[in-house]
């Protein structure tokens, strides 16, 4: 594998004005490569290049089908290179190789979907009487700045980049310092499909430096951010100062309500995916289970069984789909998660299984179930962002919904029951942007996703996401 990785600005691979940063393999703890770090000057060059492309009309003057075809071709490029991309993604991020392949496929799927959507962004004609012709069009904002998290680096970039390009925006991507490498293939893809130089710029830099400079840049016209609440607030503040819109996707503390009539065999599968996929480093993870009194003990026993069935080892040694989990992204994130479990124990919760750092090199945490959690505890309210599931108990439907809604977040929520009235009542009363009934993560790229409350605003995925990347123009023509 290459030992030094550069940034991609205005169609050229360049060194970083802020030096280099070491990228580690969290599966071993060893140094993997060095990444060029962009400083404020490179951010400025990238934004200026993107603005030049925008003003030239090279993207926005195209017939949408032509942009759409390029966007679709980027997805095919990723699939053609899936072996190399997944390999690097696993080494830099820690996830099992089979999960890295799923991530690359997921990234490709965004380009397929939004490539298809490019030609559907149509305006309408508004009747103003016989003397006027009036119509609306949707125009790209111009320069879209996208700040990417480390949990799904290639899929998160794909999510915003595909929709932004399909609608004719030029993009500047700030990759995460922990996992910058796999994003290089998005630059290769942009080049391979014939996008103009400067339409896609991908650079790594420190959040506090390059990230802050990008979000405050006066030539940026729209911002997309996925990550933590404090950083989201900083970015929204910078956006407000320049009066540009932003999309914020800020994580959650999402709950599954499990009723006494739920299919518990099926629910075991939801536990496996909901909290242990990507070692729980998922904004929409099922990080709380709110279990009915009468099935609580049986459910805990089953969930502990799921946690204990997982083999945990370096992602690169996990090529095949199976009951396995990889490393967390870094030792710092692992320690943070382990500390939160320790604090929960201190507040009176019971660690039913796991909770400890594993005694092997790398950023490994045991798959963890914490029970006897009450709504007032810190672990019931704060994102752990690791393989840690908190279990709470309820006896009335109303209490379950109040508990599910009892955090500042509202990203997703789930209800597991065979009773249609219960399911639809919960779906109506849960305050979250996406509700899963009887299957966690039901939905897809086609379904809109985003938060209520401190989980953020704006929507990604689905046709809803397109409207974050365009502005409405009305044209009124006085007829002769
Ligand atoms: P973070 O600070 O929000 O980082 C996310 C991205 O924002 C990174 O690219 C980061 O750069 C950048 N950034 C940081 N400070 C910035 C600033 N002032 N201006 C502009 N960009 C900035 O998140 P983190 O520190 O990596 O993780 C902390 C916690 O955030 C996690 O434990 C988790 O709870 C949450 N999180 C949520 C998601 C999600 O999907 N919702 C994803 C990741 C993290 P650097 O790479 O240089 O830090
Ligand atoms: Mg950070």
Boundaries of every domain in the chain: 4-249+456-476, 255-442
Please compute the mean of the pLDDT values over residues 282-310 and round it to a whole number.
98
User: What is 255-442's CATH number?
Assistant: 3.40.309.10
What confidence tier does 103 reach under pLDDT thresholds 50, 70, 90? Answer: very high
CA 228–ligand 1 middle distance (angstroms)? 5
CA 425 to chain centre: 28
pLDDT at residue 131 in the model:
98
Of 249, 366, 383, 460, the active-site residue reads 249
Q: Which of 206, 227, 331, 434 is the best mutation target for the ligand 1 pocket, counting ligand atoms within 8 Å of the beta carbon and taking the most?
A: 227
Ligand closest to the CA atom of residue 21: 1
User: What is the C-alpha separation between 329 and 153, in angstroms, rounded?
Assistant: 11
Q: Which residues contact 462 (CB under 8 A, 6 or more apart)?
A: 445, 446, 447, 448, 449
Q: Which of 36, 149, 220, 333 is the best mutation target for the ligand 1 pocket, counting ligand atoms within 8 Å of the beta carbon and taking the most?
A: 149
Ligand 1 pocket at CB < 6 A:
147-151, 174, 176-178, 206-208, 211-212, 215, 226-228, 231, 234-235, 249-251, 283, 383, 385
Active-site annotation holds for 246: no
CA 207–ligand 2 middle distance (angstroms)? 7
Per-residue pLDDT of 300-333, as tens digits, reads 999 999 999 999 999 999 999 999 999 999 999 9
The number of residues in the chain equals: 480
pLDDT at residue 200 in the model:
98
Percent of the chain with pLDDT over 90: 100
Ligand closest to the CA atom of residue 157: 1
Ligand closest to the CA atom of residue 211: 1
Q: Output the six-digit token pair for 349.
A: 């919760």
Neighbours of 443 (CB within 10 A): 16
What confidence tier does 429 reach under pLDDT thresholds 50, 70, 90? Answer: very high
What confidence tier does 293 reach under pLDDT thresholds 50, 70, 90? Answer: very high
Please compute the mean of the pLDDT values over residues 129-146 and round it to a whole number.
98
Active-site annotation holds for 283: yes
The side-by-side arrangement of strands in the sheet containing 368-371 is: 350-353, 368-371, 388-394, 286-292, 254-258, 412-416, 434-437
Q: Output the six-digit token pair for 381.
A: 């309210």
Fold assignment, 4-249+456-476: Aldehyde Dehydrogenase; Chain A, domain 1 (3.40.605)
Please compute the mean of the pLDDT values over residues 340-362 and round it to a whole number.
98
pLDDT at residue 232 in the model:
98
What confidence tier does 363 reach under pLDDT thresholds 50, 70, 90? Answer: very high
pLDDT at residue 240 in the model:
98
What confidence tier does 114 reach under pLDDT thresholds 50, 70, 90? Answer: very high
How high does pLDDT run on average in the chain?
Answer: 98
pLDDT at residue 379 in the model:
98
Alpha helices in 327-454 (DSSP H): 331-346, 397-404, 420-429
What confidence tier does 252 reach under pLDDT thresholds 50, 70, 90? Answer: very high
pLDDT at residue 308 in the model:
98
Please compute the mean of the pLDDT values over residues 192-200 and round it to a whole number.
98
């Amino acid at each position: 594998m290459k030992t030094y990785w550069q940034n991609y600005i205005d169609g050229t691979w360049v060194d970083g004005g802020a030096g280099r940063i070491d990228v580690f393999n969290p599966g071993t703890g060893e140094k993997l490569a060095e990444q060029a770090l962009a400083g404020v000057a490179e951010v400025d060059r990238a934004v200026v290049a993107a603005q030049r492309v925008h003003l030239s009309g090279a993207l926005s003057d195209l017939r949408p089908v032509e942009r759409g075809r390029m966007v679709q071709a980027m997805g095919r490029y990723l699939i053609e290179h899936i072996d190399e991309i997944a390999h690097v993604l696993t080494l830099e991020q820690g996830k099992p190789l089979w999960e890295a392949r799923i991530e690359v496929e997921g990234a490709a799927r965004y380009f397929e979907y939004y490539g298809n959507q490019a030609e559907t962004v149509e305006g309408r004609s508004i009747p103003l009487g016989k003397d006027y012709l009036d119509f609306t069009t949707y125009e790209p904002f111009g320069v879209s700045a996208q700040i990417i998290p480390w949990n799904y680096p290639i899929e998160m970039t794909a999510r915003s980049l595909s929709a932004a390009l399909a609608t004719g925006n030029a993009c500047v991507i700030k990759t995460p310092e922990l996992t910058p490498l796999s994003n290089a293939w998005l630059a290769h893809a942009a080049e391979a499909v014939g996008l103009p130089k400067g339409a896609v710029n991908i650079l790594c830099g420190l959040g506090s430096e390059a990230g802050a400079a990008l979000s405050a840049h006066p030539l940026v016209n729209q911002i997309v951010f996925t990550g933590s609440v404090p950083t989201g607030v900083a970015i929204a503040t910078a956006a407000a100062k320049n009066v540009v819109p932003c999309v914020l996707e800020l994580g959650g503390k999402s709950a599954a309500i499990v009723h006494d009539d739920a299919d518990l065999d099926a629910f075991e599968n939801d536990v496996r995916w909901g909290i242990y996929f990507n070692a729980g480093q998922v904004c929409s993870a099922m990080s709380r289970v709110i279990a009915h009194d009468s099935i609580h003990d049986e459910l805990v026993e089953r969930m502990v069984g799921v946690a204990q069935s997982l083999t945990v080892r370096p992602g690169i040694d996990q090529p095949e789909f199976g009951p396995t989990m990889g490393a967390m992204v870094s030792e710092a994130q692992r320690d943070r998660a382990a500390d939160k479990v320790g604090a929960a124990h201190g507040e009176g919760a019971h660690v039913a299984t796991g909770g400890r750092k594993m005694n092997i090199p790398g950023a490994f945490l045991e798959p963890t179930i914490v029970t006897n959690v009450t709504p007032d505890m810190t672990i019931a309210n704060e994102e752990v962002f690791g393989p840690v599931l908190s279990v709470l108990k309820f006896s009335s439907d109303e209490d379950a919904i109040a508990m599910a809604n009892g955090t500042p977040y509202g990203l997703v929520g789930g209800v597991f029951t065979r009773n249609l009235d219960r399911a639809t009542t919960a779906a109506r009363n849960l305050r979250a942007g996406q509700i899963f009934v009887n299957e966690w993560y039901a939905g897809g790229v086609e379904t809109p996703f985003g938060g209520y409350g401190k989980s953020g605003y704006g929507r990604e995925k689905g046709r809803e996401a397109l409207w974050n990347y365009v502005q409405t123009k009305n044209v009124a023509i006085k007829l002769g």
